[in-house]
Amino acid sequence: MAKGEATVQELVDQINRSEIQLPEMQRQYVWRASRVRDLFDSLYRGWPSGAILLWETDEEVALQDFAVSQDHGNHGSPKLLLDGQQRLTSLSAVIRGEPIQTRGRKRPIELLFNLDHPETSGPVTEVDEDGDGELEEVIDEELPEVNGVEVSEASETEILRNVSEMTFIVKVNRLAKMLNWVPVSEVFANEDNVHFIKRAGVSSMDDPRFNLYNVRLNRLRQIKKYVYRLDTLERSLSYDEVTEIFVRVNSLGAKLRSSDLALAQITAKWRGSLSIFQKFQAETAKTGLDLDLGAHLRALIVMATGQSHFRNVASIDADSLKSAWNQAVTGTNFACNFLRANCGLTSTALLSSPFLVTAVAYFGHVRGYEINETDAAALRRWALLANAKARYSRGSSETILDQDLAVIRAGSGPDQLLDRLAGQVGRLEITEADLVGRNQRSSLFKTLFVALSQDDAKDWKTGVKIALSHTGSQDRLQFHHIFPKDQLKGRYQPSEIDDMANLAFIGGKTNREISNRPPETYLPEMVSEYGADRFSPHLVPLNPGLHSIEGFPNFLAERRRLLATRLNEFVNPVARTE
């Protein structure tokens, strides 16, 4: 194995000229912008950043595109990147100032650099300036904060205080307007420090900040001269040997998920398969269920072996992989259609785990896609309860999935799956106690959205039905704190403030117009203008005695009672007619 060195700029240029390319065994680009921020912070400080593993070969190897653009002219035999894709793609995107393209979508990676940063490393945190939170993006994630303060509720002074110790942040518009924060990509594109220094409010070279900012801007550009160690595998190695090296290298320290390692082994046996997988992944995403490539590979393994672990992929030959993939496509299509049409789970954001898709796909496969009305209703109930109770997020997910696959493989019906679920969670009924302390990240919160959307819940002002697919700042769905957070802070615990019983699904414009007004002020006005029927599908108690700050605990208790009742009716429609 040859040893060498190259600067960041040299590697970025080689990617741009297609002298470095990606073999199909590689996973897709997956880094969040916060990971990119941390990488730049480390390189700025000169901290170690690992090595780059390459392979030079004359063998015809199936390739995939980088997430950044490349000049695909004829540049001879390229080097194949085996380890370092996430780092080099991130560096290329920021230094070249161009967006990342993944799964058919483009997104910029925009970082800001703090000219006034302290010399010591600051805290790692994230900021966001949106309202309460856009449901499609936030329903699976914690609303970003700056040291515990949401930017939407913080003053400019509070924001400055909370980020002043940071060197890099992911771009936030309110911070980008502040004089000491400069766009990182612009610094790399413009060698004129005076431009940035003047923009930061320094008008004289006698100002001590002039020299400080000048030194720091030069130091930022020095990232391009950071030297990576290169390890290059020799040409004599075969694709199979390199795949084995790739798997072993990336198994150490659990750098890659098991699905990524399985992909490398599958593509070694079935050349060109990655493009087939990605095409189906893109087709499935159009339905709203935008599943990770690993979920599709797991369906393949399940169809081939009847179990979910990737460790047996090495024993499956190419013909068996191709046959199992065809079965996985049919099963996944069935599962997505069933979950969307029968259960109302129209988006990946509403799934507590993609394993639910795998289980339903296998059920359809074993039943030959012929399911009577009774079993279809029971399968719906199991799927909704397994999702609401987060079955595959308790303990070892693969072990739990394998237990369900074994039940299905034995020819048992959904009732047996429900029995297993009850054995895990204790009871299938959703109680008021189950809702206490649950917030926007809870699987029960996702189930509530599905139930209310099927009840034709509408935005309180516009009358537009709630849906994840809305676009535009007016109608794009957000979750709204019925009792505003800043009205409750200091009087109630954060877990109470963010309790799902204090959250409602409304459009962005309505959310912003309500702002931080207490419900005892805005609810009577809105009920008078739009009618109580606008609020009843949202299960918002309209008793004025519950709308004062002092009555907040009683409001939570009453709304939890209403939510629990509706959730049980939703997952078990029979109960609603009794």
Query: pLDDT-based confidence at 76, cuts 50/70/90?
Result: low
**Alpha-carbon span 488 to 147, nearest angstrom:** 18
Q: Return the pLDDT at 162.
A: 67
| Number of domain units in the chain | 4
Cα 473 to chain centroid, rounded: 21
Are residues 86 and 12 part of one domain? Answer: yes
Domain presence at residue 279 = yes
**Alpha-carbon span 433 to 426, nearest angstrom:** 13
pLDDT of 156 strictly over 80: no
Stretch 110-116: mean pLDDT: 95
Domain presence at residue 250 = no
Three-state SS for 342? coil
Stretch 124-149: mean pLDDT: 38
Boundary of a domain, candidates 395, 428, 461:
428
Q: Return the pLDDT at 322.
A: 97
Are residues 229 and 376 part of one domain? Answer: no
Residues 6+ positions from 292 with CB-CB distance below 8 Å: 259, 354
Are residues 414 and 451 part of one domain? Answer: no
Three-state SS for 7? strand
Domain presence at residue 284 = yes
Domain presence at residue 35 = yes
Domain presence at residue 249 = no
Are residues 412 and 278 part of one domain? Answer: yes
Are residues 213 and 120 part of one domain? Answer: yes
Specify the residue for token string 């800001």: 112
Are residues 206 and 321 part of one domain? Answer: no
Are residues 265 and 232 part of one domain? Answer: no
Boundary of a domain, candidates 192, 209, 239:
239
Q: Return the pLDDT at 173.
A: 80
Quick one: which H or E segment has residue 479? Answer: strand 477-481
Are residues 399 and 363 part of one domain? Answer: yes
Q: Return the pLDDT at 527.
A: 96
Domain presence at residue 197 = yes
Query: pLDDT-based confidence at 241, cuts 50/70/90?
Result: confident
DSSP string, 9-57: HHHHHHHHTTSEEEETTSPPP---HHHHHHHHHHHHTT----EEEEEE-
Are residues 438 and 421 part of one domain? Answer: no
Which residues form the domain of 131? Answer: 115-224
Are residues 268 and 156 part of one domain? Answer: no
Mean pLDDT of the chain: 88
Q: Return the pLDDT at 355.
A: 97
Domain presence at residue 244 = no
Tally of residues, the chain: 578
- Beta carbons of 76 and 92 less than 8 angstroms apart: no
**Alpha-carbon span 404 to 201, nearest angstrom:** 63
Are residues 512 and 476 part of one domain? Answer: yes
Residues 6+ positions from 313 with CB-CB distance below 8 Å: 262, 265, 266, 301
pLDDT of 442 strictly over 70: yes
Query: pLDDT-based confidence at 249, cuts 50/70/90?
Result: confident
Domain presence at residue 251 = no
- Using a 10 angstrom Cβ sphere, with 0-12 exposed, 13-18 middle and 19 or more buried, the burial of residue 398 is middle
Boundary of a domain, candidates 201, 224, 247:
224
Are residues 460 and 398 part of one domain? Answer: no
pLDDT of 575 strictly over 90: no
**Alpha-carbon span 298 to 357, nearest angstrom:** 10
Q: Return the pLDDT at 100.
A: 94
